[in-house]
Amino acid sequence: MKKIFNSSIILIVLISACTKKVEEIQPIDRITPDLVYTSAARAEAAVVGAYDGLQSAEFLSGRALIYADLLGDDVIDFNGFFGDFPKYNMLANNGIAANMWTAGYNAIARANRAIAGIKPSVVGEDKAKKLIAECKFVRALAHFYLVNFYAQGYTFTADASHPGIPYVTQSYATNDPAGNIPRGTVKENYDAIIKDFTEALADLPLTQSSIALTKTRGTKAAAASLLSRVYLYKEDWTNAKTIAGRVIAGEFGNFSLNAIPEKVFGPGNYTTSETIFSIPNSVNDNPNTNNALPQHYAELGRGDLTVSQLFRNAATNPYFLSNDRRRDSLIAKNTKTANAGNFYTRKYPDVATRADWAPIIRYAEVLLNYAEASARMAAGVDADAVAKLNLVRNRSLADPATQAYTVASFATKQDLINAILAERRIELAFEGHRYFDLKRTKQSFVRIDADRTTQITATYGSDKYILPIPQTEVDKSDGVLKQNKGY
Amino acid sequence: MLGLVCIYTQLLAQNRTISGKIKDDKGSAIPNASVIIQGTNNGTATGSDGSFSLSVPANSKILIISSVGMETRQVTIGNQSSFDIVLQPADQSMTEVVVGYTTINKRAVSGSVAKIGSADIENRPVMSFDQALTGKAAGVQINTSSGLVGDNVIIRIRGAASLSNSSQPLIVIDGTPMVQGNVGQLYNPANALSDLNPNDIESVEVLKDASASAIYGSRASGGVILISTKKGKAGTTKVNYDGYYGYTQPATMMSVLKANDYTTVINKMRSNAGLGDVIKSGDFNGDGQPDETDWQDETYHNGPTQSHNLSLSGGTNRMSFYGSVSYLDFSNYIINNRLRRASSRLNATIKATDWLTFGLNTQYSRGYQYGIGSGTGGAASGVPLGPLRYYPNVPVRDTNGNFYLAQGNNLLTVGIIPNPVAPLLGNFDNYDTRRFIASGYLEAQIMKGLKFKSQYGVDYRAGYDDQWWSPDFGDGQGLGGVAQNVDDENRNWNWFNTLSYNKRIGTKHDLSALAGIEYTKRMSHYVYISGIGIKDPSLALITTSNYNSVSADEGFGENALASYFGNLTYTFLNRYILTGNFRADAYSGFGKNNLTGYFPSGSIAWRISDESFFENLKKTVTDLKLRGSYGITGNQNIGNYTAFASYASVSYAELAGASALNLNNPGNANLKWERTGQLDIGADIGLFNRVTINADYYEKKTKDLVLANPVLATLGFPNNSITQNIGQIETKGFEMGVTSDNLKNKTVTWTTSFNFAYNKNKVTGTNTTNTDLFGGNSIARVGQPLGAYYLIRWAGVNPQTGWAMFYDATGNIKMYNPSIATASQRWTDEKGTTVVSAITSADRVVLSDKTPYPKYYGGMSNTFTFKGFDMSFDLQYSFGAWIYNQTLSGLMGYTSVTNKSTEIFDAWTSTGQVTDVPKLYWNDNQWSQTSTRWLEKGDFVRLRNIQVGYNIPRTIISRAKINTLRVYGQIQNAYTFTQYKGIDPEANANGNTNIGLGIDNNRPYLPRTITFGLSLGL
């Protein structure tokens, strides 16, 4: 009997000892949320985490820019890598559309979580304002790209009352039903984006702690420049001209164009005075072999995307002069016999380390934004617009003396606008603009398929002119998110 | 003095000497058998030749002869002096069953337990023992998802037990929980169970209902599989050699177009759309003939297979041992895909004193898996996608003998698919593993009926995965060559202590009780390095000087489980059995608020055949036991830190001065166990002393299913999901196993065993709003069976026009005509007159009668012996599952120049033709979209194993001092009867999931292995 009793005692003692050991197991490679926002350094790291969300391989580190060109007429999907995506006939469950949606909202959520967590008592009043402004900057930028992919253009309806995207400004820690937000109208989206950028502009710094960070984190110049683009897409010419003018005047820092157009691309050129905001990449942190810009665009990478003949030929792109510098410096012929007849862009050459930065906005665009807004506001041919246009264009001319524009070059105001739009097409080619510019100017167009011959038609305003909301998201929202018509 | 002499003489007159020989039923002598006079301590033991000599008193009546492993015999002494006694072997093997921490007699089992013996497992040419269990136990469905070395083997006992957590059963070897599942580190899967030598296994017990498995409580909702390895028996030492040689080939082959048909078909697609030819033949290997390659032929071969196993077992009354060494070399039919394994085992049981026993079971094995060099299955550089889809009109090598990597004279490319042979020969992914499994125990008989056992076990595996992508082709091309190495290890250690008590009270009552505690800790760790962009490919190591960039990563995880458990069994009159089990587990992975879970169960059994009123029926119904049980089991396969909310560091392009953090797990402090309540009613019947039937009806209700609840992307959680206890499923089923000794006489025997299972489940709840969960092409919707397919319905090809038609959600037919210029006008009604809106994913419907889970499944095996010959065949069957044939849909696309299936010959060409392949038309991307067109019945009957063997007669081999010698030939996976047109009706691309099963997406064919072998016993 004693033996049984003794054995039982031993067992009971062992049970309690073991249960304690179970509670001791904690993860060793992660930080609990309460530790994050009670430290100033970590709170700022959470804000940098929001930029890291933009840097997702499916979003602004390259792919989002590629999609905007792939959907336009200047790029051919030569290897068929993107499948149905550029054929204006994709299905509602298209994986590319689904991945970009998820990546965009993930970045937005990171920004919202940081806004909710930052406490002025921990980081200081001023710093708190600055960090919150950076989060609003990230939030607005992500929403802006998303609304331009998943909804029709601003002017599709008279008052932009057609469906846009859900605009998320709260942070959620659990599966909160309040997170099931319906689509706002495009007008509501743009108003929210402008509000976020404007509020950010007030509190963002002029520079960050290093040159590299100044070009890759929110600054007043970045917010103002992006605002000029937002107003331009909205056709609010007055505000576009005003804010672009402030950037040009040097209110947010001194920016200037490089003497030659190619000087803003490639290793070593990421932080020139022409760059305003880019998403950085590095050798160990980049979208990798299947998603990086140099992988898709450079022949020696995967060589998936080639320059369409519609971009290079005078018949379809008459403003691209035959001796324009950019023909040689930024477009290359094939080097492998298998690719005979193909042309590739030189803008993203770093195949070896895939560290090409993704140019979101640069000074040349601000000048063109200003020029276009000014040209559209004026009654006749606007000299100020011509001057800004020339700043961008002249550095690419073989012979500026004879080839530069003057006010007399344009018969009507519309001729000037066409020239500016054409210059925009050439200067900002392969930087994620073409589809957006075609859409906001309500153009139907033709693009070339992988066999370099077949034409694919994109009709402005048609159902498949825009991307589908990912079908799984529509399913999960249980009726709150409405799918785009035709999908 | 006289008195002494008289007494002495009297004593002498009362004793006499008897002698004799004790032999076994085969005629061999039995040494160390004990020969005792009944009722006394007077006895002796036989010598090595089986002879004995004993002085017995004159009035001795009965001699008791016993030997371990033999049936004890009583022999009347009478007047005999010389005895030749034969002892029969005691058939212990199938009467005892391991249930949890104890072994009990089969007749006393009140739960549902199935047992598979070593004869069904040993010497089967499989890569790991779990593949040999197919079709052997009722209700246990084992699905080998593909023929790739190391691929997932999915085990389902009584259907799926979970939605997002693993439904795999817990696997325990000699009391120690094993590291199980897919342990592949990079691109090839690896089965952790393949480290076990199947020939070391004595028996496998499957605990199916709650009463049997609840003793394992929190890990048992998927059932429990207990493996017992071979232990020695007292008696002569047995030496056995088993070896086989053979080869492996693909069991089926899908057929794709040859070069000239390929040219015709693709160019016809183009010309029907008014476009020019894109496929032209060429001669790039300089042999003067247009290039033509059968890529499947080039990548598959007859893979040689061999296995050798040497085992030694024996013992005395006090000590027994079993030792073995083995070597397996399994070359798959895919070039360079191979598994080699060497293992050694030593088991020993030592009875140190009458009350103290020690036991030790150890194994060390080394495995080397040669994986496929570049991705598997559906990856572009993988097998079988590459061999199926690559252009058939280009050669393997060019005139210089290098791999031909260009597109021939074809104007379009197959995109990123490389020459299929190149990655197999030029890349590699080799996984070198070491496995040490050991358990040691001591068992002390403290007093009569009370036993204490303490066992400590470890399962330690370590592996090194060495992988290389050449820069010349495939995945390594864009990166300039990539090497990746992973050094990983798993460590499980387990310690349990039990006290068991058995008491017989009076003559009618039997009581047994068990109480125990257990602590299990699991840990895993890996270190990963990669080098991208190699400078000198002849240097094999990843160093910063030889690569453009070298990066590293580390991972770690651990969890612990502390439990206490108990069992009480009361038997009345040896025929009314009442059992209760209870277990409490605390698990580190659960939320702080819910660390401990409680799992009770109970069962009753009634052996009707022992009742007095049953006497008359006993001739026919030799055994009848009714049993019922109910209990609660749990599932804790949720990962180590799922409940903890956490931020982890991330990198923002490694910019200096910018460290970044991000939420990587929203966590859940309330996360707790999944619980399954299971009711089981069963009967064990024996008929005519030659037929046994086990039948069970069961109902399982699982709730608090831990789900990665898919949430909206706008919440911004990683993977768009948050882990919660929300789901509920219900399963009902019936299973039956029958074993019959049809014929049993001296020359011929014939036994059949057959099992059958029927299983039906239903999702009864998902999350708080009962929303649907999606996986693969299936849905988990409340009120529907788990995994019901959710697809657009195909309506056939219009015989008048040749275009594809689909049903929309309301049942109207819509036809797609790609030849119309404006995209928005291509969808019309069946007549082609009215333009309608496109078929979209809103037209998907839930197909409640079609799920990837079979409705009826099981197996049958027959064994015949005739004199020295034996023949057996096993078959496995499954009816009612549906498979989505994505492999075929990828081979029927009209938008690329990848090779097509020969089914494309059925394409519509003339008005009125009835077919299911529409008119060839370039760029028609709608017809082959995901729909029921590709959903096929997965019914099959598979001849799993056929074996023919011959036992060479004793008379011949005993001259060479050999005891037994059997030669045999066998075919594993001989033939499958099925109408399924894809890779295989068991093909499964999504691995071990619950909802998204049943998608056949380019998994390698299952292999057929033919071997010839021999088993030799000394």
| Alpha-carbon torsion, ordered B609, B615, B621, B626, to 10 deg | -20
A483 touches chain B (CB under 8 A): yes
CB within 8 Å of B615: residues ≥ 6 apart:
none
B499: closest chain A residue by CA:
A7
Q: One-letter amino acid identity for B284?
A: F
Is B772 within 8 Å of A475 when comparing Cβ atoms? yes
Q: Cα(B345)–Cα(B196) distance, rounded to whole angstroms? A: 10
Q: What is the pLDDT of residues B24-43, one digit of tens each?
A: 776 677 776 778 776 666 77
Contact B122, B243 (CB under 8 A): no
Q: Which of A214-228, B134-148, B288-302, B340-354 has the lowest mean pLDDT?
A: B134-148
Is A31 within 8 Å of B840 when comparing Cβ atoms? no
- Band (B14; pLDDT cuts 50, 70, 90): low
Q: Cα(B922)–Cα(B897) distance, rounded to whole angstroms? A: 10
Tell me which residue in B659, B896, B925 faces A89 most closely, judged by beta carbons: B925
- Band (B8; pLDDT cuts 50, 70, 90): very low
Contact B746, B734 (CB under 8 A): no
| Residue of B226, B222, B217 lying closest to B631 (CA atoms) | B217
For residues B709-719, average pLDDT: 86
For residues A108-131, average pLDDT: 94
A139 touches chain B (CB under 8 A): no
Q: Which of A224-233, A448-457, B215-224, B510-519 has the lowest mean pLDDT?
A: B215-224
- Band (B155; pLDDT cuts 50, 70, 90): confident
- Residues of A within 8 A of B515 (CB-CB) are 8, 11
The size of chain A, in residues, is 487
Is A302 within 8 Å of B720 when comparing Cβ atoms? no
Chain A 238-267, residues with CB within 8 Å of chain B CB atoms: none
- Residues of A within 8 A of B709 (CB-CB) are 175
Q: Cα(B932)–Cα(B358) distance, rounded to whole angstroms? A: 61
Q: Among B712, B719, B840, which would you mutate to test the A interface (most chain A Cβ atoms within 10 Å of its Cβ)?
A: B712
- Angle, vertex CA B389, rays to CA B386 and CA B395, nearest 5: 80
Q: One-letter amino acid identity for B591?
A: G
- Band (B81; pLDDT cuts 50, 70, 90): confident
Chain A 172-201, residues with CB within 8 Å of chain B CB atoms: 172-177, 179-181
Q: Cα(B482)–Cα(B476) distance, rounded to whole angstroms? A: 6
| Residue scoring higher pLDDT (A1 or A458) | A458
| Residue of A329, A333, A344 lying closest to A265 (CA atoms) | A329
- Band (A173; pLDDT cuts 50, 70, 90): confident
B553: closest chain A residue by CA:
A284
Q: What is the pLDDT of residues B113-139, one digit of tens each?
A: 888 888 888 888 888 888 888 888 888
Contact A436, A152 (CB under 8 A): no
SS3 content of chain B, % helix, strand, coil (to 5): 10, 50, 40
- Angle, vertex CA B419, rays to CA B414 and CA B421, nearest 5: 145
| Alpha-carbon torsion, ordered B653, B659, B665, B666, to 10 deg | -120
Tell me which residue in B562, B656, B930 faces A19 most closely, judged by beta carbons: B562
Q: What is the pLDDT of residues A242-277, one digit of tens each?
A: 999 999 999 999 999 999 888 989 999 999 999 999
What are the CA-CA distances from residue A375 to residues A367, A420, B1003 (Å)? 12, 9, 60
Tokens of B688: 């005519």
The whole-number pLDDT of residue A21 equals: 75
CA distance B706 to chain A (A): 14
| Residue of A228, A229, A208, A227 lying closest to A217 (CA atoms) | A208
Q: Among B442, B500, B647, which would you mutate to test the A interface (most chain A Cβ atoms within 10 Å of its Cβ)?
A: B647
What are the CA-CA distances from residue B535 to residues A131, A282, B481 (Å)? 43, 20, 9
* B770 has a pLDDT exceeding 60: yes
For residue A205, is the peptide bond before it cis, meaning its omega torsion is within 30 degrees of 0? no
- Residues of B within 8 A of A486 (CB-CB) are 824, 837-838, 840
* B7 has a pLDDT exceeding 60: no
- Residues of A within 8 A of B822 (CB-CB) are 457
| Strand-pair category, B691-710 with B674-687 | antiparallel
- Band (A423; pLDDT cuts 50, 70, 90): very high
Helix or strand or coil: residue B841?
Answer: helix
- Residues of A within 8 A of B645 (CB-CB) are 32-33, 173
Q: Which of A22-36, A210-224, B230-244, B918-932 has the lowest mean pLDDT?
A: A22-36
CA distance A286 to chain B (A): 7
Q: Cα(A286)–Cα(A300) distance, rounded to whole angstroms? A: 17
A336: left (phi over 0), alpha (psi -120 to 50) or beta: beta
| Residue of A46, A292, A114, A457 lying closest to B659 (CA atoms) | A46
Q: Among A3, A5, A12, A15, which would you mutate to test the B interface (most chain B Cβ atoms within 10 Å of its Cβ)?
A: A15
| Residue scoring higher pLDDT (B11 or A485) | A485
Q: Which residues pair with B350 in a beta bridge?
A: B319, B358
The whole-number pLDDT of residue B67 equals: 67
The whole-number pLDDT of residue B768 equals: 60
| Strand-pair category, B804-807 with B748-765 | unpaired
Q: What is the pLDDT of residues B537-558, one digit of tens each?
A: 888 899 999 999 999 999 998 9
The whole-number pLDDT of residue B1 equals: 43
For residues A381-404, average pLDDT: 92
Q: Cα(A293)–Cα(A265) distance, rounded to whole angstroms? A: 12
Q: Among A59, A61, A100, A106, which would you mutate to test the B interface (most chain B Cβ atoms within 10 Å of its Cβ)?
A: A106
- Band (A422; pLDDT cuts 50, 70, 90): very high
A173: closest chain B residue by CA:
B666
For residues A429-456, average pLDDT: 93
* A366 has a pLDDT exceeding 60: yes
Q: Which of A103-107, A125-129, B771-775, B916-920 has the lowest mean pLDDT?
A: B771-775
For residues A211-217, average pLDDT: 94
* B176 has a pLDDT exceeding 80: yes
What are the CA-CA distances from residue B926 to residues A89, A231, A413, A455, B794 (Å)? 9, 39, 45, 18, 11
| Strand-pair category, B34-37 with B721-744 | unpaired
* B4 has a pLDDT exceeding 50: no
Chain A 33-72, residues with CB within 8 Å of chain B CB atoms: 33, 35-36, 41-42, 45-46, 48-49, 51-53, 55
B787: left (phi over 0), alpha (psi -120 to 50) or beta: left
Q: What is the pLDDT of residues B785-829, one digit of tens each?
A: 888 999 999 999 999 999 999 999 999 999 999 988 887 789 999
CB within 8 Å of B74: residues ≥ 6 apart:
B38, B62, B63, B64, B65
Q: Which residues in B260-271 are b (16+ Cβ under 10 Å) and which e?
A: ebbbebbbbbbe
Is B548 within 8 Å of A353 when comparing Cβ atoms? yes
A451: closest chain B residue by CA:
B412
- Residues of A within 8 A of B557 (CB-CB) are 27
Q: What is the pLDDT of residues A439-451, one digit of tens each?
A: 999 999 999 998 8
A108: closest chain B residue by CA:
B716
The size of chain B, in residues, is 1018
For residues B565-578, average pLDDT: 89
Contact B830, B851 (CB under 8 A): no
B474: closest chain A residue by CA:
A302
B481: closest chain A residue by CA:
A352
Tell me which residue in B415, B517, B595 faces A81 most closely, judged by beta carbons: B415
The whole-number pLDDT of residue A162 equals: 94
Is A285 within 8 Å of B647 when comparing Cβ atoms? no
Q: Cα(B549)–Cα(A282) distance, rounded to whole angstroms? A: 11
Q: What is the pLDDT of residues B423-474, one digit of tens each?
A: 899 999 999 999 999 999 999 998 888 899 999 999 999 999 999 999 988 8
- Angle, vertex CA A415, rays to CA A412 and CA A417, nearest 5: 115
Q: What is the pLDDT of residues B361-418, one digit of tens each?
A: 999 999 999 998 776 666 777 888 999 999 999 999 999 989 999 888 999 988 888 9
Taking the CA atoms of B948, B953, B959 and B963 in sequence, report the sign of the dihedral they define: positive
Tokens of A37: 């926002």
Contact B752, B862 (CB under 8 A): yes
* B61 has a pLDDT exceeding 90: no
| Residue of A323, A94, A373, A365 lying closest to A222 (CA atoms) | A365
CB within 8 Å of B895: residues ≥ 6 apart:
A80, A84, B922, B923, B924, B925
For residues A53-58, average pLDDT: 94
A304: closest chain B residue by CA:
B415
- Residues of B within 8 A of A80 (CB-CB) are 412-413, 415, 895-896
Tokens of B67: 């030997």
The number of beta carbons lying within 10 Å of the beta carbon of residue B810 is 7
Inter-chain Cβ pairs, chain A and chain B, closer than 8 A: 278
The whole-number pLDDT of residue B723 equals: 81
Q: Among B714, B766, B767, B778, which would you mutate to test the A interface (most chain A Cβ atoms within 10 Å of its Cβ)?
A: B714
* B10 has a pLDDT exceeding 60: no
Tokens of B335: 């070039």
| Residue scoring higher pLDDT (B894 or B40) | B894
| Strand-pair category, B82-87 with B15-24 | parallel
The whole-number pLDDT of residue B724 equals: 81
- Angle, vertex CA B823, rays to CA B820 and CA B824, nearest 5: 110
Task: Choose the most confident range, by mean pLDDT, from A18-32, B714-728, B798-812, B832-846.
Answer: B798-812
Q: What is the pLDDT of residues A137-164, one digit of tens each?
A: 999 999 999 999 999 999 999 999 999 9
- Residues of B within 8 A of A459 (CB-CB) are 824
The number of beta carbons lying within 10 Å of the beta carbon of residue B763 is 25
| Average pLDDT of chain B, as a whole number | 86
A113 touches chain B (CB under 8 A): yes
Is B823 within 8 Å of A464 when comparing Cβ atoms? yes
Q: Cα(B160)–Cα(B157) distance, rounded to whole angstroms? A: 7
Is A49 within 8 Å of B412 when comparing Cβ atoms? no
Share of chain B above pLDDT 90, in %: 42
List, as one string, the DSSP characters of A245-282.
HHHHTTTT------SSGGGGSSTT-TTSTTEEEEE--B
Chain A 290-329, residues with CB within 8 Å of chain B CB atoms: 295, 301-302
Placement of tokens 């005895």 in the chain: B83
CA distance A258 to chain B (A): 24
Q: Which residues pair with B365 in a beta bridge?
A: B343, B435
* B990 has a pLDDT exceeding 80: no
Q: Which of A73-82, B5-14, B318-327 has the lowest mean pLDDT?
A: B5-14
Q: Which of A67-76, B68-77, B377-386 has the lowest mean pLDDT?
A: B68-77
Q: Cα(A90)–Cα(A397) distance, rounded to whole angstroms? A: 40
B563: closest chain A residue by CA:
A15
Q: Among A93, A175, A444, A457, which would you mutate to test the B interface (most chain B Cβ atoms within 10 Å of its Cβ)?
A: A175
Is A11 within 8 Å of B665 when comparing Cβ atoms? no
The number of beta carbons lying within 10 Å of the beta carbon of residue B602 is 18
Within B69-143, residue ranges assigned H as helices are none
- Band (B307; pLDDT cuts 50, 70, 90): very high
Q: Cα(B583)–Cα(A408) distance, rounded to whole angstroms? A: 92
Within B612-658, residue ranges assigned H as helices are none
Is A209 within 8 Å of B411 when comparing Cβ atoms? no
The whole-number pLDDT of residue B575 equals: 83
Share of chain B above pLDDT 70, in %: 94
Q: Cα(B1004)–Cα(B377) distance, rounded to whole angstroms? A: 6
- Write down the number of H helices and E strands in chain B: 8, 50
Placement of tokens 């399994």 in the chain: B330
